[in-house]
Structure 1
Amino acid sequence: MDFEKVKTIVSDIKQKQPKIDRVMFVGCGASMADLYPGYYFISHESTKLLSSIQTANEFNYNTPKGVGDRTIVITASLGGSTPESVEATKKAKKLGAHVITLSMTAASPIIKATEYKLVHGFQENYAAKTEKMSYCLALAMQIMADFEGYKFYDEAMTAFAGMPALIEKAVKAVGPSAQEFGEKYKDEQKIFVLSSGASLGVAYSTASFLLMEMQWVTAPTVHSGEYFHGPFELTVEDAPYLLFMNDGSTRQLDARALTFMQRFDAKITNIDAKDYGLGEVASANVIDYFNPMIHTGVMRVYAEELAKARKHPLTKRRYMWKLSY
């Protein structure tokens, strides 16, 4: 990752507009989920900046009235051609916002439409699959550092430096447990996916894309803190659950849900960030925001093994790439 480019982009925005009061994160699907850690960081750490996250077509059709020259809008599209996200990028720019866009494709329509661009990796390895969300988080931290101040900035940079190796170490170790997951859940038609904190976006993307889109498995997303406010009524013996447990401030929320599921002998897979040594690279002051990277890397291996067990490739679709919609 090019952290100097992140610094240059935010510095250039500050030179043009010394006062920023709003940071918006806009995208679709998995790309919107990858923006979630950045949104979560600003919404929890900043005392001055408003922060929101929106799906692109809602931004297009019901644009927040506060978007203007004191707004930074961060958009994203993996391949760079998602029509709704391209349009949102153009609209934000037209409204005078400072638009930063993330994509893995340098010549894509969304990159051509933006003011500031960051081209990230994806195919190289499992760690690269987290670059989009890492860039977004780095942007959020740099924005706060430059416009408000962030006293744990150096600790965050240390965590960024350690994450790629930590992810690659983790994915090399999870083969047996990922295979067990595939066999254990291969016949399930519904899997509940839970998490909290910055990893709620990972729960959402896992449910909506790795499971519903790529495996045609019904997958409700449940916030661990909301589990006891309705959804826990469906917890019975062998009910299938996938939990992304955080190492950090919201761990108690995840642990409470896990304890209840165990009490009723539900079928549980717990991907716990603590098991993969997240605390070895991320200090207690910043660890909350780095859970999504380790969860994403590990879950990709789990998804690959589930696809093998179900004999349903992750690339198989009914409608996507086949129909106009």
Structure 2
Amino acid sequence: MKGIPALLKFNEEEFTAQLASAAALRPGIEALAAQLGDGVKNVYFLGAGGSYAEMMPYALLLQTKSTLPGVAAVAQEFMLVPDTAFGEGSVAVFVSATGSTPDVNKAIDWAKAKGAVTVGFTGDADSPFAQALDHVFLSSAHSYDIQLLLLVTGLLQRRGEFADYERFADQLALLPSLLVDVAKQADSKASVFANKHRDVEYLFVVGSGNVWGYAYLYSMCVLEECQWLHTTRVHAAEFFHGSLELIEKDTTTLLFYGEDETRPLMDRVRSFVDLYCDDVTVFDTADYPLEGIDPSFRALLSPLVIGTAASRLSTHLELVRNHRLDVRRYYRVVEY
């Protein structure tokens, strides 16, 4: 992507270093997968808000590629109504950017009391989150997809369910520079969207498969929490059941496409909204080259690609709406 000017609020050196720090955790994560071995009965991805949504793709990966049960759940609800299968032999996985989310930290202690092995990814070794875990992996990355991919595919490889693990893990090291290119390619579309919709009052965000978690995260944790925009998030498979009745010619509709087997669900939504709506924007991971990545691995990387592209949208919305992404009225401001 040579010749493209520097991106707004994008430190390329810092961005690549953060992702590289995540990829560098490979030896430790592989050692943990070997240590856990055949003793793993099931894997639970427990979080809150964005940390829950970010782990959805990896529960889905287990559900669709392995006989090892995988479940993503909201931690606070799970503690009140847990699966009967959770306990000895369970691995409970957590992620946290700050390490200070009470709902998540309570769930770690609860999971340990139930006999589960707790594994987590964060950036702060001194946080309550890091201190509570049985196994903690530290990096400067602000997302945890690379680490979660290494953990889950490592477990699959140990079970004989992912023969291409070594090649896949090697190619993950290419992502820091590849995702810089994604950010640069996505920036123009993100800028156009933000400028066109600086005064929008209501948006639809639609996704499916392993990018549904990011669609959920983006609508809740960015558009609502960070920009105070009224947002409907809907899974493409459920769009037919009520949501389509709200589509009008001027309804702002944002479609997040991945590359897994659920693309036909998104195609169905797109065919409908293109017919009845004049304000449709598509971010599709298939539009980004990802040179050096095996075509058979592209679908696994869709959450990383869509997240990188959408991060440019966040930056431009912050600018044109004059609303900083770190401003809150209630979250962590007042008692809840």
Give 1:281 shift: 4.3
Distance between the aligned counterparts of 1:114 and 1:269, measured in 2? 41
Match of 1:71, as an amino acid?
Answer: S
Contact 2:47 2:95 (8 Å CA) reproduced = yes
Question: Relative to structure 1, is the Cα distance of residues 31 and 114 closer, same or farther in structure 2, using a 3 angstrom cutoff?
Answer: same
Query: Which residue of structure 2 aligns with residue 38 of structure 1?
Result: 58
Aligned counterpart in structure 2 of residue 58 of structure 1, from 74, 77, 84: 77
CA RMSD in angstroms, aligned pairs only: 1.6
Asked if 1:179 is matched to 2:199, the reply is no
Give ranges in structure 2 of 5+ residues lacking alignment: 1-22
Distance between the aligned counterparts of 2:131 and 2:78, measured in 1? 19
Distance between the aligned counterparts of 2:326 and 2:100, measured in 1? 18
Distance between the aligned counterparts of 1:271 and 1:233, measured in 2? 23
Give 1:288 shift: 2.2
Query: Which residue of structure 1 aligns with residue 10 of structure 2?
Result: none
Distance between the aligned counterparts of 1:81 and 1:312, measured in 2? 24
Query: Which residue of structure 1 aligns with residue 260 of structure 2?
Result: 248
Superposed, which structure 2 residues align to 1:142-161 within 5 Å? 142-161=154-173
Aligned counterpart in structure 1 of residue 248 of structure 2, from 227, 236, 239: 236
Superposed, which structure 2 residues align to 1:200-279 within 5 Å? 200-278=212-290
Question: Relative to structure 1, is the Cα distance of residues 257 and 158 closer, same or farther in structure 2, using a 3 angstrom cutoff?
Answer: farther
Query: Which residue of structure 2 aligns with residue 84 of structure 1?
Result: 103
Aligned counterpart in structure 2 of residue 114 of structure 1, from 124, 128, 133: 133
Give ranges in structure 1 of 5+ residues lacking alignment: 123-128
Query: Which residue of structure 2 aligns with residue 12 of structure 1?
Result: 35
Give 1:155 shift: 4.2
Identity of aligned residues (%): 26
Bigger drift between 109-118 and 98-107 goes to 98-107
Contact 1:158 1:281 (8 Å CA) reproduced = no
Give 1:209 shift: 0.7
Distance between the aligned counterparts of 1:249 and 1:282, measured in 2? 18
Superposed, which structure 2 residues align to 1:88-107 within 5 Å? 88-107=107-126
Distance between the aligned counterparts of 1:196 and 1:99, measured in 2? 28
Contact 2:157 2:165 (8 Å CA) reproduced = yes
Normalising to structure 2: TM-score of the pair?
A: 0.89
Give 1:149 shift: 3.1
Say which SS state the counterpart of residue 220 (structure 1) adopts: strand
Q: How many residues align?
A: 313
Query: Which residue of structure 1 aligns with residue 327 of structure 2?
Result: 316
Give 1:161 shift: 2.3
Query: Which residue of structure 2 aligns with residue 3 of structure 1?
Result: 26
Give 1:69 shift: 2.2
